[in-house]
Amino acid sequence: MNGDLAKAPRFDSVQEFDKDSYKLYKVHTHIDKLGFVWVNLDAAETPTHSWEEQFGGVTEQPRLANYDLNNYKFDHTWSMEGKFNWKTLIENYNECYHCPTAHPGLAPFFKGNRQMVYGCQKHWIEHLGGKGEERSSSVSPTFAFPNASITLTPILFYMMSIVPTSATTSLMRYEVYRAKDATDKAFREKLDFFAQVEGEDKWLANGAQGNLNSDTYTTGPFHPEVEEGVTFVTSLIKDVLHQHVDEEKKRGDEWWPARRALVKKTSEEDEVFCRGVCQNSTLNGNSAGEGLAW
């Protein structure tokens, strides 16, 4: 497949119709040294932010030498629905201040105030054990901004993504790969352990969102050491939002980086007209979304 439009019956006689203008969209991809495929949906010919700029060095972590990804095979996927904004769980994931009390299974890993975050790099965070530390050979999680992570263990590894489904709901998606030499017993024990931890995080995030939905809730400060990862991710989100707003001010219009340009000028004029009608509607108390849905 080359992405070309295969057929357009009877359009061969339509003037100004260019079949090449209706190809499948190209998508920017990057395959890293470990074999993972990264996708960038930026519609620009050259992505606004390159993979190297965002994630360069993520595959060079010394602790990754503990794992041979050729020794794993795909096993299954699973998911959970959460009643929280996606950022609520991302904050939860990037700190373990709550682990000694909220995660009984993880508590032994954090005796003696052992570190959770070992490095905030560009758009990724190294968690739980750096370099040759013994703990890094048993579990090595890495967070990839904005909403994904990969957790490596000798028995299995899994990728997680938090997909927003609304402002206050999200889908927690997991893709699990099993070590080829893992026994059924060892695989099941490890899988159950992580599933329990992820389930506990879901309910913590549900509770946190309940607070956020309250008009009496106020936030407190982040701990500079044990919540370093949260501070880092929050700063990235703020930076992205400010950059986006600045770009829209510069353009004088909304900016949708993944949206392709309309082929026909008349289509663009129709879009501008409809957008103006919606923004200035007096139906339903200026709620154009409801008044003009039909």
If phi > 0 it is left, if psi is from -120 to 50 it is alpha, else beta; for residue 286 that is left
Instruction: Report the pLDDT value the prediction gives residue 104, as an integer from 0 to 100.
Output: 72
- Reading the block at residue 66, the tokens are 């503990």
Reported in sequence order, the residue ranges of the chain that DSSP labels E, i.e. its strands, are 28-31, 37-40, 72-82, 117-121, 124-127, 140-144, 148-152, 156-164, 170-179
Instruction: Report the pLDDT value the prediction gives residue 181, as an integer from 0 to 100.
Output: 96
| Strands laid side by side in the 72-82 sheet | 72-82, 170-179, 156-164, 148-152, 140-144, 124-127, 117-121
- Span 228-279, pLDDT tens digits: 888 899 999 999 999 999 999 999 988 999 988 776 666 777 777 777 777 6
What secondary structure letter does DSSP report for 261? P
**Residue 198: partners with Cβ closer than 8 Å, 6 or more residues away:** 80, 160, 172, 174
Q: What average pLDDT does the segment 153-173 reach? A: 96
What's the whole-number average pLDDT of the chain?
85
In this model, does residue 18 exceed pLDDT 90?
A: no
- Span 28-54, pLDDT tens digits: 999 999 999 999 999 999 999 999 999
Neighbours of 60 (CB within 10 A): 11
Q: Which of 1-15, 179-193, 231-245 has the least mean pLDDT?
A: 1-15
User: What is the percent of the chain where pLDDT is above 90?
Assistant: 48
Sign, CA torsion 120/121/123/127: negative
Q: What average pLDDT does the segment 186-203 reach? A: 92
Instruction: Report the pLDDT value the prediction gives residue 150, as an integer from 0 to 100.
Output: 96
Buried b (16+ CB within 10 A) or exposed e, 245-266: eeeeeeeeeeeeeeeeeeeeee
CA distances from 144 to 1, 118, 281 (A): 31, 14, 41
* CB of 83 closer than 8 Å to CB of 89: no
Instruction: Report the pLDDT value the prediction gives residue 129, as an integer from 0 to 100.
Output: 62
- Domain assignments of the chain as residue spans, ordered by start: 60-237
Instruction: Report the pLDDT value the prediction gives residue 284, as an integer from 0 to 100.
Output: 44
In this model, does residue 292 exceed pLDDT 90?
A: no
- Span 99-138, pLDDT tens digits: 777 777 766 666 555 556 677 889 999 887 655 555 556 8
Instruction: Report the pLDDT value the prediction gives residue 273, as an integer from 0 to 100.
Output: 78
More confident residue, 153 or 97: 153
Q: From 204, 200, 195, select the one nearest 77 (Cα to Cα).
A: 195
Instruction: Report the pLDDT value the prediction gives residue 7, as an integer from 0 to 100.
Output: 83
Domain 60-237 coded CATH 3.30.70.980 = no
Q: What average pLDDT does the segment 152-169 reach? A: 96
Instruction: Report the pLDDT value the prediction gives residue 290, as an integer from 0 to 100.
Output: 54
